[in-house]
Amino acid sequence: MRQILILVATMIIRMISEEELRAKARKRAEDKIGFYTHFAVYIAVNAFIIMIWYVTSGPNSFPWFIFVLFGWGIGLVAHGIGVMAEGRFSEDMAEREYQRMKGRNR
């Protein structure tokens, strides 16, 4: 009877961790889709802005669109780093915090 209870408890723990893993995977996939959408909008809008510059001012004028490219580009890079490196940084940080807290309770 005890072995059955242990087996059932193990199965429940695995189910919970499977559900948590699936939820984390879904969130990461949604975050990546959000970044790819952001990148596509960045390309489309900036291509349009460059086209406006070219039609209105031409290549002999100051390329004012670079301010938009660089400003928005900084945000895009930060978004990409946050999405792509999220798992590594947050998991490492969580493990360090766990070990620190575990050391305090001794």
Write out pLDDT tens, residues 54-90: 999 989 999 999 999 999 999 999 999 989 887 666 6
| Tokens standing for residue 55 | 């039609």
| Tokens standing for residue 29 | 């996939």
pTM over 0.85: no
